[in-house]
Chains A and B, each alone.
Chain A
Amino acid sequence: MATDGSSRRHRGRSRPGPRPVTNVAVALDAKQTWIAEFASSEPDLAGPAWLRPIRKQAIARFEAAGFPTQKHEDWRFTNLAPLLRVPFKPAILGRPDGVLAERLEPFSFGVLKTSRLVFVNGQFSPRLSYLRPLPEGVRVASLAEILRNDPGSVEKDLARHAKYEDDAFVALNTSFFTDGGYIEIPKGTVVEEPIHLVFVSTSHEMPTVSHPRNVVRLGARSQATLIETYAGWAPDVTFTNAVTEISAGPGSVLDHYKIQRESESAYHIATMTVDQDRDSNVMCHSMAFGAALSRSYVHTNFHAEGGSVALNGLFMPSGVQQADNYTRIDHAAPACTSVELYRGILGGKSRGVFNGNIYVRKDAQKTVARQTNKNLLLSKEAFVDSTPGLEILADDVKCNHASTIGQLDENAIFYLRSRGIDEEAARHILTYAFASDVVNQVKVAPIRIKLDQLILSRLPKGAGPGEGL
């Protein structure tokens, strides 16, 4: 057993001075606004009868708990005040979204053939969506449509995996959501082509909020690849508060990608909860490039033996962006394996957070858990908080965690320069190389190529080092 079993905080900072504390009054005001909003819009929120009490319980929990402040352990590095000060309004239902199909082209993956569901401000856009031929019994649809026509099929999953009890943003999403992706893969079915959910956030006169809600059910021994893309364009001021609930049946295989490319005037908070049954195998890739403030929370639970999960993350804020990453892996069953690899590349005056929690419960013997977070600071003013965490109650386990924060290696830069490569290109090559561990985990080649392009396009000024590194 290679672990110290403790939670170790690792911080890299070069910016002195006290951290701003979330303004309690701002949080209270925002809370009252949301509660009033619910009271006025609740009668119009569609859905089956069983959903109404869930929405009401969720808003009640939100009212009781309010927005988290930085006194809350899980939020101590995230100042929500800038988000809470903006008077967001829900998108007007039924209004034409006005998004041109061409504008979505940069969010596709070259030659990769996918089914695609597009949601604009949380509402399904049939005009921008298309389905490729799918195996029999596979359902890829708008959640609103399922709730209208076949609510029974979603009742056992909706609000059953993502818990609103302890999370203000999940509670808000549960109270307000209108639509999102619904994916159901019957047992024994392999879906070869990826399914792509695209969430576009736009605003017109007023800052706009949306609460996409996705429900995914994988039957026993089924297999699928799912991509969630979050998109938007400056100067639209938007807030996307997304929740994805996934149930992975026995022996199922899921390759999940979340690619967050919202505009730098956007706010993005996303929660993903995965409940894993026996021998299921899940990969969750989380790539954060956009948004002024983003927070990705990935929460996976092993409920039966033999499961495996890989959490693979890259966050790459620059300028004044903040990119936060929270993960929680709950080993509640024996003989499960989790491998977590997160890398942060921070430029400008950006901030980033990695907070990883792994719980190994008393009966979860033969657990293997490995957690690594490495961070590269490209400027003296960039700043990252890294908190790897392991809590182990079983005694026959293999667990370890590691966290590093550093700059580019000057010896490596000199080595490249001494071979004729100029300094900027040398820095680009080394920065790209730093991300390669995470990118190489991506199994779908066109997605890997797209990620390469996104990383290269975000390297500080000038052209990237080219392809084929």
Chain B
Amino acid sequence: MLEIKNLQVKVGGKEILKGIDLSIGRGEVHAIMGPNGSGKTTLAQVLAGRLAYEVTGGSVRFEGKDLLAMRPEDRAREGVFMAFQYPVEIPGVSNAYFLKAALNAIRKYRGLEEIDAMDFMGLVQDKAKLLGLDETFMKRGLNEGFSGGEKKKNEVFQMAVLEPKFCILDETDSGLDIDALRLVANGINTMRSPTRSMLVVTHYQRLLDYVIPEHVHVLVDGRIVKSGDADLARNLEKHGYGWILEEAPRPQPARA
């Protein structure tokens, strides 16, 4: 489904990703772990289409199409969804309005008719229940005055409504108490299916106790230095990143 080859990315002139290779098959859940500053969020943002990131080399193909050539909105319409680490607050735009606009933009791109108001309300109520969001939430401004936990729930809620093919979860567990974490994890697990793939970006293994990935990759200094299964995540939790850093091949010093 997603094929990343030798992806190199600069941010503000600084090289952050130094050649990422990653292949994610249909229905697979991959986790990217790594210490702070390793480039995890950069990878997530580049896949979602953030403009501030300069791709200096490599390619990303999504279902055979050149993902990097697409505008952010077209990536979303093709089925890519990123749950933001820091969702944006937009007062004056209700959650309901926003989500309906998004859903209809995606439906239009796919040649479907706009969803009618009754169907939309039905769809939204079911998904909101799944995440323990109450009814007033849809009328409130988008993420306006939401707690950290509510914002993260809202991201997964949007994901549940928009039903993307490929989900990127960027530090979705950060700032969640255990109850919220269970709700969010349950929301994510409900969405796992043989046709939907996920990339879970996380610093800690906590979320991975609930959302168990098939593949775990460790990102250090812009490179994937180790890949394994869910046990790798548990080892990282137990022993920290130190041993990986020891094992990891040192980058060759640049020579003129």
Q: For the complex, what is the distance from the CA of A101 to the CA of B141, rounded to whole Å?
A: 41
Please tell me which stretch of A29-37, A114-122, A177-185, A429-437 contacts chain B, meaning at least 4 of its Cβ atoms lie within 8 angstroms of it.
A429-437
Q: Is A40 an interface residue (CB 8 A)?
A: no
Q: Say which residue of A414, A418, A430 sits within 8 Å of B93 (CB atoms).
A: A430
Q: Say which residue of A412, A419, A420 sits within 8 Å of B109 (CB atoms).
A: A420
Q: For the complex, what is the distance from the CA of A412 to the CA of B105, rounded to whole Å?
A: 17
Query: Given that A420-B162, A469-B92 are known contacts, is A414 also in contact with B76, CB under 8 Å in the complex?
Result: no
Query: Given that A430-B90, A433-B91 are known contacts, is A419 also in contact with B50, CB under 8 Å in the complex?
Result: no
Those of B43-95 within 8 Å (CB) of chain A: 48-51, 71-73, 75-77, 81-82, 84, 87-88, 90-94
Nearest-neighbor residue (CB-CB) of B109 within chain A: A420
Contact across chains for B88 and A421 when beta carbons are under 8 A apart: no
Contact across chains for B51 and A433 when beta carbons are under 8 A apart: no
Q: For the complex, what is the distance from the CA of A411 to the CA of B90, rounded to whole Å?
A: 10
Q: Is A17 an interface residue (CB 8 A)?
A: no
Q: For the complex, what is the distance from the CA of A415 to the CA of B93, rounded to whole Å?
A: 13
- Chain B residues with Cβ under 8 A from A425's Cβ? 101, 105
Q: Is B42 an interface residue (CB 8 A)?
A: no
Q: Is B158 an interface residue (CB 8 A)?
A: yes
Number of chain A interface residues as a range? 20 to 34
User: 0/1 per residue, A402-446, Cβ < 8 Å to B?
Assistant: 000000010110111111111101000110111111000000000
Q: For the complex, what is the distance from the CA of A420 to the CA of B74, rounded to whole Å?
A: 6
Q: For the complex, what is the distance from the CA of A432 to the CA of B48, rounded to whole Å?
A: 25
Q: Is A465 an interface residue (CB 8 A)?
A: yes
- Chain A residues with Cβ under 8 A from B162's Cβ? 419-420
A413 → B minimal CB distance (Å): 9
Those of B130-171 within 8 Å (CB) of chain A: 141, 158, 162
- Chain B residues with Cβ under 8 A from A419's Cβ? 73, 76, 81, 98, 102, 105, 158, 162
Q: Is A468 an interface residue (CB 8 A)?
A: yes
- Chain B residues with Cβ under 8 A from A420's Cβ? 73, 76-77, 102-103, 105-106, 109, 162
- Chain B residues with Cβ under 8 A from A423's Cβ? 71, 73
A376 → B minimal CB distance (Å): 12
- Chain A residues with Cβ under 8 A from B210's Cβ? none
Nearest-neighbor residue (CB-CB) of A440 within chain B: B92
Contact across chains for A418 and B72 when beta carbons are under 8 A apart: yes
- Chain A residues with Cβ under 8 A from B105's Cβ? 419-422, 425
Contact across chains for A418 and B48 when beta carbons are under 8 A apart: yes
Q: For the complex, what is the distance from the CA of A434 to the CA of B98, rounded to whole Å?
A: 15
Query: Given that A415-B84, A420-B105 are known contacts, is A434 also in contact with B92, CB under 8 Å in the complex?
Result: yes
- Chain A residues with Cβ under 8 A from B141's Cβ? 433
Q: For the complex, what is the distance from the CA of A224 to the CA of B101, rounded to whole Å?
A: 38
Most chain A beta-carbon neighbours within 10 Å: one of B72, B82, B90: B72
User: 0/1 per residue, A452-469, Cβ < 8 Å to B?
Assistant: 000000000000011011
Contact across chains for A433 and B77 when beta carbons are under 8 A apart: no
Contact across chains for B101 and A465 when beta carbons are under 8 A apart: yes
Q: For the complex, what is the distance from the CA of A409 to the CA of B102, rounded to whole Å?
A: 18
Query: Given that A415-B88, A415-B90 are known contacts, is A422 also in contact with B97, CB under 8 Å in the complex?
Result: no
Contact across chains for B92 and A417 when beta carbons are under 8 A apart: no
Contact across chains for B76 and A412 when beta carbons are under 8 A apart: no
Contact across chains for B93 and A417 when beta carbons are under 8 A apart: no
Apart from A420-B103, A425-B101, what 12 extra A-B contacts exist at CB < 8 Å? Answer: A412-B88, A414-B50, A417-B71, A418-B73, A419-B76, A420-B73, A421-B105, A429-B93, A432-B93, A435-B92, A436-B91, A436-B93
Query: Can you spell out 30 A-B residue pairs with CB atoms less than 8 angstroms apart?
Result: A414-B50, A414-B51, A414-B72, A416-B98, A417-B71, A418-B49, A418-B75, A418-B76, A418-B82, A419-B81, A419-B102, A419-B105, A419-B162, A420-B76, A420-B77, A420-B105, A420-B106, A421-B73, A422-B73, A425-B101, A429-B93, A429-B98, A430-B93, A433-B141, A435-B92, A436-B91, A465-B101, A468-B97, A469-B92, A469-B97
- A: residues with CB less than 8 A from B are 409, 411-412, 414-423, 425, 429-430, 432-437, 465-466, 468-469
4 closest A-B pairs (Cβ-Cβ)?
A433-B92, A436-B92, A420-B76, A419-B102
